[in-house]
Structure 1
Amino acid sequence: PRFRLINDDPLPSDWVGRPWALHNGFLASSPNSEWILGIDADTIPHPSLVCSLLETATTEGYDLITLSPRFILKYPGEFWLQPALLMTLVYRFGAAGEIGSSAERVMANGQCFFCRRSLLEKVGGYTSAKGSFCDDVTLVRNIAATGAKVGFLDGANILKVRMYEGMAETWNEWGRSLDLKDAATSAQVWGDLVFLILVQALPLPLLIFSAWIVGSGNTTLPALIALGLNGSLVAMRIGLNAAVLQSYDRSSAKGAWLFWFSPLADPAAVFRIFLSSTRKPKSWRGRVYGG
């Protein structure tokens, strides 16, 4: 059969559930296969997905490709919060399709993971990401460190995903892994957090404050510089919001207009990154973990 359901062995204490399941799927795959495709159950792939991946990998020489999807959002709160959380990734690692990142700054999305079998065999399958709650980024960065050509590409036209139901679930479930601390050093995590505070969380409040200062008659050079700098950062954020619009499926949405107000959620989004940076997840998708 083209599709075969398999049962994993009991989860070892030093593994997280998702990489354990993926590792077992890899071990059960045909040893004669050239490529391994990992795809999440909540995705909606276009019929041309596999052909597109294979053609791109062959013509552009990729050893591993992951895709950014088109997000299916349905409720007002999602449209306000989710783009702000997504923007924390864009600010730190750039948009999908960017090239030239060092191995430790490579971005990835395991919802669609296309990799040469020989490469996965070389790194021992998913073992290097066995304890990671962001196993996709951890594994891809480990593979990139071997010298393989990896790509994080725009897949909005061939992959859709409905990740979470509502704003609260988006905050709790997606927000807890966006710090990527399991795929980075402490210096990277905290350096990125400071960067997000400066370029995403503070500009809008500081723009309002500096505009009030200047409007009150304080036209000193520091006040004008603060107004101009924060105004530029807010304008850039609005431009980035427009740029990611194509990454959203709004066909069944309520309150989609709140997407344009997502910059107002930026301070909350960065605060969520701070919270996840300081906490180790103790539960994930219904499974409870120790420590």
Structure 2
Amino acid sequence: MNYADFWYVLAFFVLLSQIVATAILLSRLLKGAKRRSPLLPQVADPDLMGKVSVVVPTLNEAERISPCLAGLSRQSYELREVIVVDSNSQDGTPDLVVTAQQNDPRFRVMTDDTLPPGWVGRPWALHTGYLNISKHSEWFLGLDADTEPQPGLIASIVRVAEAEGYDMVSLAPQFILQYPGEWCLQPALLMTLLFRFESAGVDASSSSRVMANGQCFLCRRSVLAKLDGYTTAAGSFCDDVTLARNIATAGYKVGFFDGSKTIKVRMYQGAKETWHEWGRSLDLKDAANSSQVWGDLLFLLCVQALPLPMLLLSAWLLYFGNTYPTIVTIFSLNAFLSLLRYGMLIAIAPSYSGSSFFFWLSPFADIPAVLRIFLSSLNKPTKWRGRSYL
């Protein structure tokens, strides 16, 4: 085989892989056309009174938790209590909760016990909160400290869960971004999830494809009791997805909905923090077997990382007269994938608070985003939210 034949065979192999991956992608995106509309805030009725206990895990969240506390105070009587489980913060986080408690007696703060072997801090704090919620609450709602619950959030999510028989529901929030770098990188990282899993508002076809978001994670207390709280996700750095898939595997009905009109979140400050903190868990290897992780990575390579460079390369070859059918097909397919990518960008624009010119440049961050998933797949995190796990 000469040099030219080698590159032709390689191009044909890449094209074949992209065709298969594109078919898989389209089968997922077409389901999204019939997805549930975003949940809307609802006013609580008396029959919801005291049904929900909220648990918020914290570790040095003083700079971010105030909007969360304020948003929870605006929830109605469906909210029985808010337990903030603090992991020995050194920045005054518990003091903010105590101050909030003076105006709203539903708040209380507690400190979790020393982290046991085999546990990651976040699931341990949530498990501690679960063990301490009222036995009269029917629902457990885990919320992250960086969220901004909107009025009517809890009534909305409980209403849909009860009306449609869901045992666990989590919400995709509306993201708050500020700096140019994160406006480019964060949507590209989000797209790695949208390409691999069903759209928010579409029920997963199997437990291995269940998606969940621990920033807003509602579950029947009785279901958590049968799974012994967060025990099955104790050592997971993506405990939300791990627990949700375990719940689905146990035969319970699990949903993942668009909550962009009911909850907002400011996750990370800038592109650097987004790259390190969010990127290290997006491979979801704690919730999947290795074949799924690496299969998904190959899939992302074909439909997200390669389209732009393959489009440019094939356009260059066509310009210089290389009109082989394989080259023409590569150009056409990757032009389609690039247009599809921008179409997806338009579709997710409502998932972001405000707008930025740099948002529309995020497809140029697709290669770094897929690279981040690859790097994360190679290594297990050793640090998370200021804690070391060695």
TM-score range, shorter chain: over 0.9
The answer as to 2:276 corresponding to 1:172 is yes
The answer as to 2:159 corresponding to 1:59 is no
The answer as to 2:223 corresponding to 1:119 is yes
Alpha-carbon shift at residue 95 of structure 1 (Å): 1.6
Instruction: Work out the CA distance in 1 between the residues paired with 2:198 and 2:339.
Output: 17
Give the aligned partner of residue 215 of structure 1: 319
Give the aligned partner of residue 152 of structure 2: 48
Q: 1:82 aligns with which of 162, 166, 186?
A: 186
Q: Deviations for 1:212-253, whole angstroms, at most 9, x for unmatched residues?
A: 111111112111101101111111111001100000012xx7
Alpha-carbon shift at residue 130 of structure 1 (Å): 0.2
Q: Confirm or deny: 8 A CA contact 2:130 2:229 kept in the other structure.
A: yes
Q: Counterpart of 1:6 in 2: which secondary structure?
A: strand
Give the aligned partner of residue 107 of structure 1: 211
Q: Deviations for 1:97-155, whole angstroms, at most 9, x for unmatched residues?
A: 11242001100000001110000001110000000000000000000001111100000
Alpha-carbon shift at residue 94 of structure 1 (Å): 2.5
Q: 1:243 aligns with which of 336, 347, 353?
A: 347
Q: Confirm or deny: 8 A CA contact 2:204 2:211 kept in the other structure.
A: no
Give the aligned partner of residue 265 of structure 1: 365
Equivalent residue letter for 1:92: R
Q: Counterpart of 2:199 in 1: which secondary structure?
A: coil
Instruction: Work out the CA distance in 1 between the residues paired with 2:204 and 2:362.
Output: 29
Q: Confirm or deny: 8 A CA contact 2:173 2:258 kept in the other structure.
A: yes
Q: Counterpart of 2:113 in 1: which secondary structure?
A: coil
- Structure 1: 4+ residue segments shifted above 4 A: none
Equivalent residue letter for 1:263: P
After alignment, is 28-37 or 162-171 more displaced? 28-37
Q: Deviations for 1:15-52, whole angstroms, at most 9, x for unmatched residues?
A: 00000000000000011211111111100001100100
Instruction: Work out the CA distance in 2 between the residues paired with 1:113 and 1:270.
Output: 27
Work out the number of aligned pairs and report it: 286
Instruction: Work out the CA distance in 2 between the residues paired with 1:280 and 1:54.
Output: 35
Equivalent residue letter for 2:335: G
Which structure is larger by alpha-carbon Rg, 1 or 2?
2
Alpha-carbon shift at residue 60 of structure 1 (Å): 1.4
Q: 2:245 aligns with which of 122, 136, 141?
A: 141
Q: Counterpart of 2:250 in 1: which secondary structure?
A: coil
Equivalent residue letter for 1:264: F
Instruction: Work out the CA distance in 2 between the residues paired with 1:60 and 1:204.
Output: 42
Instruction: Work out the CA distance in 2 between the residues paired with 1:52 and 1:229.
Output: 41
Q: 2:378 aligns with which of 254, 259, 278?
A: 278
Give the aligned partner of residue 227 of structure 1: 331
Equivalent residue letter for 1:265: A
Q: How does 1:153-192 map onto structure 2 within 5 Å?
A: 153-192=257-296
Equivalent residue letter for 1:245: A
Q: Counterpart of 2:111 in 1: which secondary structure?
A: coil
The answer as to 2:108 corresponding to 1:4 is yes
Instruction: Work out the CA distance in 2 between the residues paired with 1:92 and 1:218.
Output: 34
Instruction: Work out the CA distance in 1 between the residues paired with 2:264 and 2:294.
Output: 32
Q: Confirm or deny: 8 A CA contact 2:238 2:281 kept in the other structure.
A: yes
Alpha-carbon shift at residue 65 of structure 1 (Å): 0.5
Q: Counterpart of 1:4 in 2: which secondary structure?
A: strand
Q: Which has the higher contact order (CA 8 A, sep 6+)?
A: 1
Q: Confirm or deny: 8 A CA contact 2:139 2:220 kept in the other structure.
A: yes
Q: Deviations for 1:54-84, whole angstroms, at most 9, x for unmatched residues?
A: 1111111111100000000000001100000
Q: Confirm or deny: 8 A CA contact 2:142 2:215 kept in the other structure.
A: yes
Instruction: Work out the CA distance in 2 between the residues paired with 1:5 and 1:100.
Output: 36
Give the aligned partner of residue 151 of structure 1: 255
Instruction: Work out the CA distance in 1 between the residues paired with 2:300 and 2:205.
Output: 19
Percent of aligned pairs sharing the same letter = 61
Equivalent residue letter for 2:309: P
Equivalent residue letter for 2:208: E
Give the aligned partner of residue 25 of structure 1: 129
Q: Deviations for 1:171-190, whole angstroms, at most 9, x for unmatched residues?
A: 00000000000000000000
Unmatched 5+ stretches in structure 2: 1-104
Alignment RMSD (CA, Å): 0.8
The answer as to 2:233 corresponding to 1:129 is yes
Instruction: Work out the CA distance in 1 between the residues paired with 2:273 and 2:159.
Output: 36
Equivalent residue letter for 1:262: S
Instruction: Work out the CA distance in 2 between the residues paired with 1:3 and 1:183.
Output: 32
Q: Confirm or deny: 8 A CA contact 2:304 2:366 kept in the other structure.
A: yes
Equivalent residue letter for 1:243: A
Instruction: Work out the CA distance in 2 between the residues paired with 1:110 and 1:174.
Output: 13
Instruction: Work out the CA distance in 2 between the residues paired with 1:240 and 1:73.
Output: 18
TM-score relative to the length of structure 2? 0.73
